[in-house]
Structure 1
Amino acid sequence: MKKIFFLLVCIFLSISVKPQSYIGAWERYDTSEEGEKLKSVVIFADGYQVITTYNADTGKFIYTNGGTWKSEGDTMTEKVEFDTRNPERVGSEISFKLTINDSIISIVGDDMDMKRIDSGNPGKLQGAWLMSGRFRDGEEQLRDTSGPRKTMKILSGTRFQWIAYNTETKQFMGTGGGTYTTIDGKYTENIEFFSRDDSKVGLHLSFDFNLVDSNWHHKGFSSKGDPIHEIWSLRENDYE
């Protein structure tokens, strides 16, 4: 009986001290000085993150930044790869302390609480992906993903965002995002913001998807109506 009690105590303690995971999506609502309702969403994948703010009613894009991240204890360190408000920060590292529980994440010393949206489920494409190729006229054309110019797509279990940028020139080319589903081989995006064209907000785009040798094949029609067949490769966590 004592052994059983001791075992139960050990199990309880192991569960209670299990660290909370940042992986997934988080959100926060604010009001601008002009009275606009703003929505901020952060997506954490393994080693990569993005945070974006946009008008919750119209989808008008306001700001995004992101890059790589790692945590030690309650301290998170981010290496900036893109920042639309302060591009000079690209390449720099910033560290700050966080508190986290199952439903709220907070930056210590800053009035910024974010509520968990999901923990990386149920979508089948959770992670950070890099555009690594496409098919043109039936022929596969691969691209080098190690260069400074990147198109990255970060997905939680329910949220997605793509970002095009260059870490060498610190140039930002565009972004878009919202919610997504993966059901019966169909990947469907519901666009909530699009930096290049607000008129795309509200579109629902459905694509065929499948995983081939761990690469994500993405086939359908773009927001402009052009046929696409893209290849995305899961980005490894290489934050040193």
Structure 2
Amino acid sequence: MADNSTTQTQNTTPQTEPQPGAQTGQQAAPAIDYGKIQQMLDGTLAAKEDTALKAYFKQQGLSQQEVEQAITAFKEQKAANQPDVVGMQNQITETQAQLAASQKAAQAAQVENAATMMAVSLGIEAKTIPYILKMADLSQVMGEDGKINEESLKTAVNKVLEDVPALKPQMDGKTGFTQVGTGGNPAQHPQQTTTTNQTAVPTKRWNRWN
């Protein structure tokens, strides 16, 4: 019986009780409000500054009212000597915006000049070019490197000519060039025809009796 009791005692596994200080789960890290920390530090520094200033001015023999006036004057001078960071940032932002606008305007003028030269090379009349420039999508003509893509420019101009065929230059079917003048229709040259006919008719007929 003694052996059986010993065996049962050895086989029994003791249960470990949780310690009071053990964590049962992972706790979330507390949120840190850096704004409140900075506000607290600023308040502490301001209070220490006021204390130091009061002590200094009292050592100079000033009254309470004079001390307060001296502290106010000191803070005003200190604020005036400090740079206006917000104002400087606003000025920088405004300057950057102006530079960006100027650069954009210069690029637009460059693209417009290139489009005008392209339209002239295609034989488009000068009076038609402004309408083509207004209707053409030139937003993708200039690359990120600031250079104009000639193929994209030509495609944009031709797209307008395809959409509005009336803007295309009038080409002569025989020669392939733009027709200049009235052409070879005799009805459009009555004076020239009359002159030719008058030249062909003799002014006096020959008579053998003369």
- Give the shorter-chain TM-score range: under 0.3
Larger relative helix fraction = 2
Larger relative strand fraction = 1
User: TM-score of the superposition, structure 2-length normalised?
Assistant: 0.22
User: TM-score of the superposition, structure 1-length normalised?
Assistant: 0.20
User: Larger radius of gyration, structure 1 or 2?
Assistant: 2
